[in-house]
Amino acid sequence: MSTIFRGLSDEAKKQITSDKYSNRYEFESNNSNLYDTFANINELSTFSKVFDSEIKKDIIDELKQPGEFSFDTSNIEFESHEDWRRFISPNRDYGKIWNYSEWSLSVKDAFTKDNDAFEEAINQAEEFSKLTKPSQNLLNYLETDQESSQHLNSFILFDNYLTGVGLYGTLKLKVSSNNINLDTGFDYSDLEKLSHQRRTLGFIGTNIKNIKATYKPIGGQPIELELPEQFIVNRQLTTFSNTKGLFKQHVRANLLFDKEMLGFNKEESDIAPEDYGNIFELTKPKGFEGDFIPDVKYDFDEVFSMIFEETLEKTNAETKKEGWFASDYIKRFYFNPEPSYFKINDQGYLFLYTKNDTLINSGHWMLTSGTPLTEGGGPTTSHNQLVYFEIGEWSMRNNNVSGDGKRYWKFKMD
Question: Is 202 in the same domain as 304?
Answer: no
Which of 207, 241, 275 finishes a domain? 241
Question: Is 33 in the same domain as 171?
Answer: yes
Residues paired with residue 207 on neighbouring β-strands, in sequence order: 79, 231
Question: Is 264 in the same domain as 383?
Answer: yes
Strand intervals (E) in 35-191? 68-72, 77-79, 85-87, 94-96
Alpha-carbon gap, residue 198 to 142, rounded angstroms: 12
Distance of CA 280 to the CA centre of its chain: 27
Regarding beta strands 94-96 and 383-393, do their DSSP bridges make them parallel or antiparallel, or are they unpaired? parallel
Alpha-carbon gap, residue 361 to 364, rounded angstroms: 10
Reported pTM? 0.88
Alpha-carbon gap, residue 310 to 323, rounded angstroms: 20
Query: Is 189 in a helix, a strand, or coil?
Result: coil
Q: Which of 327, 296, 303 is nearest to 380 (CA)?
A: 303
Alpha-carbon gap, residue 294 to 44, rounded angstroms: 50
Distance of CA 51 to the CA centre of its chain: 28
pLDDT per residue rounded down to tens, the chain (414 residues): 678 889 999 999 999 999 999 999 999 999 888 888 889 999 999 999 999 999 999 999 999 888 899 999 999 999 998 889 888 865 444 444 444 467 777 888 888 888 999 999 899 888 777 666 778 888 899 999 999 998 889 998 999 899 998 889 999 999 999 999 999 999 999 999 999 999 999 999 999 999 999 999 888 899 999 999 999 999 999 999 999 999 899 889 989 998 999 888 887 777 777 777 777 889 999 999 999 999 999 999 999 999 999 999 999 999 999 999 999 888 888 787 889 999 998 888 888 899 999 988 777 777 777 665 555 555 555 545 555 565 554 433 444 434 456 677 889 876
Question: Is 152 in the same domain as 44?
Answer: yes
**Whole-number pLDDT of residue 152:** 86
Question: Is 325 in the same domain as 341?
Answer: yes
Give the count of alpha carbons within 13 A of 125, CB side only.
33
**Whole-number pLDDT of residue 405:** 61
**Whole-number pLDDT of residue 371:** 64
- 337 prior amide bond cis, ω within 30: yes
Which of 208, 241, 274 finishes a domain? 241
Amino acid type, 304: F
Question: Is 14 in the same domain as 31?
Answer: yes
Burial class, 72, CB count within 10 angstroms (exposed 0-12 / middle 13-18 / buried 19+) = middle
Alpha-carbon gap, residue 286 to 277, rounded angstroms: 24
Which domain does 281 fall in, by range? 94-130+244-411
Residues paired with residue 392 on neighbouring β-strands, in sequence order: 365
Question: Is 111 in the same domain as 199?
Answer: no
Query: Who contacts 302 (Cβ-Cβ below 8 Å, separation ≥6)?
Result: none
Residues paired with residue 343 on neighbouring β-strands, in sequence order: 351
Question: Is 206 in the same domain as 216?
Answer: yes
312 and 257 Cβ atoms separated by less than 8 Å: yes
Question: Is 237 in the same domain as 363?
Answer: no
Question: Is 66 in the same domain as 153?
Answer: yes
Q: How many CB atoms lie within 10 A of CB 118?
A: 18
Question: Is 16 in the same domain as 40?
Answer: yes
List the end-to-end C-alpha distance of the chain, in Å, as a whole number: 79
Query: Is 224 in a helix, a strand, or coil?
Result: strand
Which of 226, 241, 256 finishes a domain? 241
Count of structural domains within the chain: 2
Question: Is 253 in the same domain as 215?
Answer: no
What secondary structure letter does DSSP report for 386? E
235 and 23 Cβ atoms separated by less than 8 Å: yes
